Amino acid sequence: MSNPVTIEAVEGTSYADITREFDAPVEAVFRAHADPELYARWIGPRRLRTDITHWDFRTGGGWAYESHDDADGAVYAFRGTFHTVEPNALLIQTFEFLGAPGEVSLDRMRFEELPGGRTRLVGRSVMSSREALEVMIESGMEYGMREGYEKLDELLAEG
């Protein structure tokens, strides 16, 4: 059984706090965020296939990927900038869905070591407005994150 993802959007704010634990060491969880081949294997819902189109994982670098729904041919494109990369500790990046241009979130993810070789990922996603946050949540944010993190669990179990 996988660990639950918790998404808490405090009323009246434009941010969501996200928490998820993994049964793997911080180094492995961080590497799965840093390595584009690993990242493409777990990001997003199961029905989507991800192709990385740009990956420069460093402070000041950038990223882009496309998620393909092979069942209906839809393509969803995303891009952003890595603002801060502290190995095994912190990742701060922007996140933009190109289907909603001009709306960019600022995401912070802390990688916390837990006893027993486990990891807690603690994130905050800040949008430009409460309305933009609500649209993101209603678009299936929890579903996509839950399935993506389940795929990450499977990837981490491979060793």
- Domain covering 6-157 in this structure, CATH number: 3.30.530.20
CB atoms within 10 A of CB 80: 20
* 138 Cβ neighbours under 8 A, 6+ residues apart: none
Q: pTM higher than 0.85 for the full model?
A: yes
- State pLDDT tens for residues 34-91: 999 999 999 999 999 999 999 999 999 999 999 999 999 999 999 999 999 999 999 9
Q: How many CA atoms lie within 13 A of 8 on its CB side?
A: 8
> Residue 19: which of 147, 125, 94, 128 has the closest Cα?
125
The DSSP 8-state label assigned to residue 44 in this structure reads S
What pLDDT digit, counting tens, does each position of 114-133 carry?
999 999 999 999 999 998 88
